[in-house]
Amino acid sequence: MINVNGFIEKAEAIDQYVDSEIDLFISGISLEDRCPQGWNILKEKGIEVKNKIIFYFTEVIKGSQQQGIQDAEEYFDNLFDMQPTDHKLYANIYDEISGLMEFEKCLNDIFQEFEDKKVVIDFSIMIKPYLFILLKYLQDIKNIEKIFFLYTEPASYHKSRAKIISKDGDYFTKGSTKTGEIPSYSGSKNLTKKTALIVLLGFEGQRTVEVVRAVEPDITIPINGFPAYRPEFKDISIISNEELLREPEIFKNLDYAPANDPFETKNVLEKIYSKYSNHYNIATAPLGTKPMALGSCLFALQHADCRIIYPYPMEYNLKASKGWGATWVYIVTILKGKNGI
């Protein structure tokens, strides 16, 4: 039995919960302005980082050159203050399994023993499948009990509200999607039960519809991010998912969870699970904010019978947001057979 618990704080308070040094910092490169903010906060607090593992996504390197950055690798080296002892993992955004294998090799080279290591993961720009399988690996294989997650909100997005209403193109992704289970989150299926799909709503309503069509659930339960980072974001999400929500049987199930709070998202999922799991196989689709996705991941770790469904796109928008807002730290405890924090 796994018990997952935790709490949220402003990232500026992180030095109240970690010592003056941490063993490992994990992040990835991105063209989004908020990319280095988690790392910058650790520096500002004077927290020593013994080891860094940064995912150098090949697609971002190519995209940087198209944006006029001549030496993209040097640019990101400077952004994260990379030292000779730090570790750059060259990975494909669309191949999280190969990325995890490279991460495992790197981690084993750095640490002979991993017990009680202090780990900080900045997942602000991390592709969701990477976030899910990294956490699963650290929990299942490395038996880590506490992780500090950093997340920086975007100040705004590059796409306007008017274009959302007109359904003019995609938001964070491009091209058709292939819906499937995130590796290691296949859950279990009781053939005597129906299927309940919980969808964490985002700004891309077409991806939501594709997930629902692929799963063909007996009941669909949408969750919108509220309160949102900014008041208009909750409305954009509703407008974007109009095709789904115009179905009365779906709209009546609409629920809410704070866009920046994975623990409250997990609590909402727990309530739904308690209500439906006796008669339904539960699946979740994390299409909302990354903190909400983290909440669904923590929920799935505690309920191994639940599936995580994800619509894999043909292409990600490498610069979907601009600027940055508040940065949060989520202190997550994962204990086996115990009572959490």
For 52-96, the DSSP string reads: EEEEEEHHHHHHHHHTT-SSHHHHHHHHTT--TTSEEEEE-TT-H
User: Is a pLDDT exceeding 50 seen at residue 160?
Assistant: no
Residue 341 forms part of a structural domain: no
Q: Is residue 227 domain-shared with residue 285, that is, in the same domain?
A: yes
Pairing of strands 321-322, 307-316: unpaired
Q: What is the DSSP letter of 297?
A: H
- Are residues 150 and 260 located together in one domain of the fold? no
Q: Report helix, strand or coil for 15.
A: helix
Same-domain pairing of 223 and 270: yes
Token code pair at residue 57:
């996504």
Q: Looking at the structure, do residues 134 and 177 belong to the same domain, yes or no?
A: no
The reply to whether 99 falls in a domain is yes
| Residue of 64, 62, 313, 288 lying closest to 170 (CA atoms) | 313
Domain co-membership, 145 together with 285: no
Residues 97-114 have pLDDT tens digits of 999 999 999 999 999 999
The residues pairing with 224 across neighbouring beta strands, listed in sequence order, are 256
Range of the domain at 119: 2-156+321-336
Task: List C-alpha distances in Å: 275 to 188, 195, 280.
Answer: 18, 13, 9
Could you tell me if residue 55 is inside a domain?
A: yes
Residues 6+ apart with CB under 8 A from 304: 2, 187, 188
Q: Is residue 180 part of a domain?
A: yes
Same domain, yes or no: 94 and 18: yes
Sign of CA dihedral 152, 115, 183, 4: negative
Task: Say yes or no: 142 and 167 in one domain.
Answer: no
User: pLDDT, tens digit, for every residue of 20-39?
Assistant: 899 999 999 999 999 999 99
> Which stretches of 112-228 are DSSP H helices?
128-140, 161-165, 205-215
Whole-number pLDDT of residue 163: 46
> Cβ(164)–Cβ(236) under 8 Å?
yes
Confidence of residue 317 (pLDDT cuts 50, 70, 90): confident
Residue 71 falls inside a structural domain: yes
Looking up residue 270, the CATH number of its domain turns out to be 3.40.50
CA 320 to chain centre: 15
Residue 20 lies in a domain: yes
| Dihedral, CA of residue 300, residue 303, residue 305 and residue 311, to nearest 10 | -10
Name the H helices within the chain: 37-44, 58-66, 72-79, 96-110, 128-140, 161-165, 205-215, 231-240, 242-245, 248-251, 262-276, 290-302
b/e string for 142-156 if b means 16 or more Cβ within 10 A?
A: bebebbbbbbbbbee
| 249 located within any domain | yes
- What pLDDT is attached to residue 337? 64
Q: What is the pLDDT of residue 172?
A: 57
Alpha-carbon gap, residue 216 to 195, rounded angstroms: 8
State what percent of residues in the chain have pLDDT above 70: 92
Tell me, yes or no, whether 136 lies in a domain.
yes
If one counts the domains in the chain, the total is 2
Mean pLDDT of 147-158: 89
| pLDDT class of 165 with cuts at 50, 70, 90 | very low
Look-up of token digits 């979740």: 284
Q: Are residues 187 and 303 in the same domain?
A: yes
Are both 249 and 139 inside the same structural domain? no
pLDDT of residue 174: 64
The mean pLDDT value of the chain amounts to: 90
- Residue 333 region by backbone torsions, left for phi larger than 0, else alpha for psi between -120 and 50, else beta: beta
The pLDDT confidence band at residue 223, using thresholds 50, 70 and 90, is: very high
pTM of the model: 0.92
pLDDT band at 176 (very low <50, low <70, confident <90, very high): low
Q: Are 175 and 315 in contact (CB under 8 A)?
A: yes
Percent of the chain with pLDDT over 90: 74
195, pLDDT greater than 90: yes
- Name the pLDDT band for 232 (thresholds 50, 70, 90): confident
Q: Is the confidence at residue 167, as pLDDT, over 50?
A: no
Residue 341 has pLDDT above 50, yes or no: no
Q: Tens of pLDDT along 42-63?
A: 999 999 999 999 999 999 999 9
232 SS3 class: helix
209 in the same domain as 306: yes
Rg from Cα positions in the chain: 19
Q: Are residues 130 and 47 in the same domain?
A: yes
Residue 93, token pair as written in the block? 């955004």
At which residue do the structure tokens 């939501």 appear?
208
248 and 146 share one domain: no
